[in-house]
Amino acid sequence: MRDHWWWRPGWRDGRRMYAWHATFGDQIELHALTERYQEAFGSLSGVDAIPQPWLHLTMQGVAFTDEVSARDLAEIVTRAQKRLRSAGAVTFKVYVPIVDPEAIMFRPDRTDRLRQFRDEVREAIADVWGANRVPETPEWAPHISSAYSNATGPASPFFDAIASVKAGPASVTLREIQLIRLGRDTRLYTWETAASVPLDA
């Protein structure tokens, strides 16, 4: 395992970023499954469990808040709303989490639909700024983290803790995605929602 909380390029204490995420405030099955696994590895040092209100699926960054105008941001949201208006809600499942060097995470199925949503968001950004200014790469592996690593150390205790849990999958229904104002000052990703875009309008 390695520390997830190193300062990535451009980030600093107090700085915020606009990003597209899926959030899961009303997804009871996901909350329950996450809690089962967090209980299993909660006594181990080296990870920060993510509280239920801050569970999320990272989709696509836009820009730091001091690098984008309100006009451009509003236009990106409008373009995303138009592109996703008839996309349709999607229900997917998550199963046993995997141990990544920086996180313990669920990999959802139905990744084809999730990639479709992200592609449309990327096109919305390109509509406003041009394709060469769309941040991040087209390649993307959707995931929902349940904890982040905060230290360097062996991964085997986390594999063992996960293996000790007997739990069925959780079903998640995604009906909207959010443009959020994201921060990461306290070893936790927190945000304010700037806009919500429904998938089944």
Q: What is the reported pLDDT for 200? A: 82
CA 24 to chain centre: 10
Question: Coil, helix or strand for 20?
Answer: strand
Beta strands in the chain (DSSP E): 17-23, 47-49, 56-64, 90-94, 98-100, 103-106, 144-149, 170-174, 176-183, 190-198
H/E/C letters for each residue in 137-152? Answer: CCCCCCCEEEEEECCC
Domains, the chain: 17-198 (3.90.1140.10)
User: Cα separation of 148 and 168, whole Å?
Assistant: 23
Task: Provide the β-strand partners of residue 192.
Answer: 181
> For residues 104 and 157, is the Cβ–Cβ distance under 8 A?
no
Residue type at 112?
D
Cα dihedral across residues 113, 115, 118, 119: positive or negative: negative
pLDDT averages per 10-residue partition of the chain, 201 residues = 96 97 96 97 95 97 98 98 94 97 96 95 98 96 97 97 95 97 96 95 59
What's residue 201's pLDDT? 59
pLDDT, residue 128, reads 98
